[in-house]
Amino acid sequence: MVSPVNVNIQCRRVKFSPSKHNLMVFGFIVIFSTISMLLLVETSFSSEFEVVTETPFKQKMPLLISFLTGLTGVYVAVVKLWRNLDSKENTIFLTSSSAVLVVSVVILLSWISSVHDSVVKTYQNITYPSDVDQISTSVQLSLLDSISLMFAFFGIIGLASIIVSLIHLKRLSKLN
């Protein structure tokens, strides 16, 4: 009869520095954002996006990926910072994610503004606009305005996050 053998196996957890951990988390966020945008290409959202913006969805994917990365990064950074308020690395993570969000929002708003102007010019160039032309242009402009407001709201969140994180960094530097 075989007697059981006591085997003492110790598993060591790999510990990363907080900055490397945040870099890995940011990488996962980028991967998540990319996969999300790739999934949106396969839905009707991309075709509706093209109808409203008159721009192929795939052309704006890198910008939309950076927007989603910044937005998700701000959320994750706030949660991480909430758990450890004295972490300088988490505050820097919040600052950088907020910067990505704000920059992408500014570029998106600039692009939507140019699309808005293009739609208005196209309508003005119609010699004898019909009621259908007027209604479709009004609907398209209304959707563009709604999208602009949505992005502006997220931009305000990003800007507020940058301000709060910079104030928090200043406070942390005074403590050390």
Helices (H), 54-130: 61-83, 88-124
2 pLDDT above the threshold of 60: no
5 pLDDT above the threshold of 90: no
Return the C-alpha torsion angle 72, 107, 156, 112, nearest 10.
-110
The model's pTM = 0.83
At 16, is the pLDDT very low, low, confident or very high (cuts 50, 70, 90)? Answer: low
pLDDT in tens, 143-176: 999 999 999 999 999 999 999 999 988 988 888 7
> How many Cα atoms within 13 Å fall on the side-chain side of residue 72?
17
Distance, C-alpha 175 to centroid of its chain: 32
What is the rounded average pLDDT for all residues in the chain? 88
1 pLDDT above the threshold of 60: no
What contacts 47, CB < 8 A, 6 or more positions away?
57
Percent of the chain predicted with pLDDT > 90: 52
What pLDDT is attached to residue 70? 96
pLDDT in tens, 53-99: 888 888 999 999 999 999 999 999 999 888 888 888 889 999 999 99
What pLDDT is attached to residue 124? 86
What pLDDT is attached to residue 127? 81
Angle of helix 88-124 relative to helix 61-83, nearest 10 degrees? 150
